[in-house]
Amino acid sequence: MDKNGNLFPVRKEVLIKIKGKDIAGSMEIPAKAKGLVIFAHGSGSSRFSPRNRYVAGILNKNNLGTLLFDLLTAEEEKVDNYTAEYRFNIKLLAERLIDVTDWLLKEPSLKNLKLGYFGASTGAAAALIAAAKKSSVIYAVVSRGGRPDLAMESLPEVKAPTLLIVGGEDFEVIELNRVAYENISAKKRLEIIPEATHLFEEPGALEEVALITSKWFTGHL
């Protein structure tokens, strides 16, 4: 809180303690923020994902707060680097996302911010499962190059408006998203970025993702 009594802006590294574990995160909330987007990164990634951080930066410029955090603890990540046993444990990742959401809900300074989820790759499945379980407090979901098919059982329970973004050259994932799309009963949209591959590394592709994402969250948060 500043000398004028304003809670925001906030830009800091946070250590989230949940169920005896320490989860590292990066939080940024603009001065005029009305919503807060929680990021769930993909398999083998972290809160330092350059693609997610780019999207987060665009959201910040459009007066949306962001929280990027590591789905795994430092110890779990070390194990996962050798065994890959955690990165595809969608149930665990969804539970971790729910725990972090509950942690945010207990913070008085954030009580007026509507929450949304942004999930990439396997993180999108975790975000959709968590959105189904936290339907009373999650107002929008965006999946980037995601695997919503890994959350198939939870999709009918998702109440938040859901945007699925897929690269036009990511053929297998397009089909998986189309199948998942049919099972989402909430307001929904499937956006295919022409000529983009799975990681949206082509010129202008990630910028298009960030623009569409920003419009979706601005409209629903």
* Cα distances (angstroms) measured from residue 131 to each of 2, 7, 38, 57, 202: 33, 27, 11, 23, 30
- Span 24-43, pLDDT tens digits: 999 999 999 999 999 999 77
Percentage with pLDDT > 90 across the chain: 80
Start-to-end CA distance of the chain, whole Å, equals 23
- Span 73-108, pLDDT tens digits: 888 888 877 877 777 889 999 999 999 999 999 999
Residue 49's region, left for phi above 0, alpha for psi from -120 to 50, else beta, is beta
Question: Structural domain boundaries of the chain?
Answer: 10-220
- Is residue 149 within 8 Å of residue 122, measured between CB atoms? no
Q: How far apart are CA 42 and CA 40, in angstroms?
A: 7
- Span 165-212, pLDDT tens digits: 999 999 999 999 999 999 999 999 999 999 999 999 999 999 999 999
The residues, ordered by sequence, that sit 6+ positions from 63 with a Cβ below 8 Å of its Cβ are 30, 32, 33, 34, 218
Mean pLDDT value across the chain: 92
The CATH class, in words, for 10-220 is alpha beta
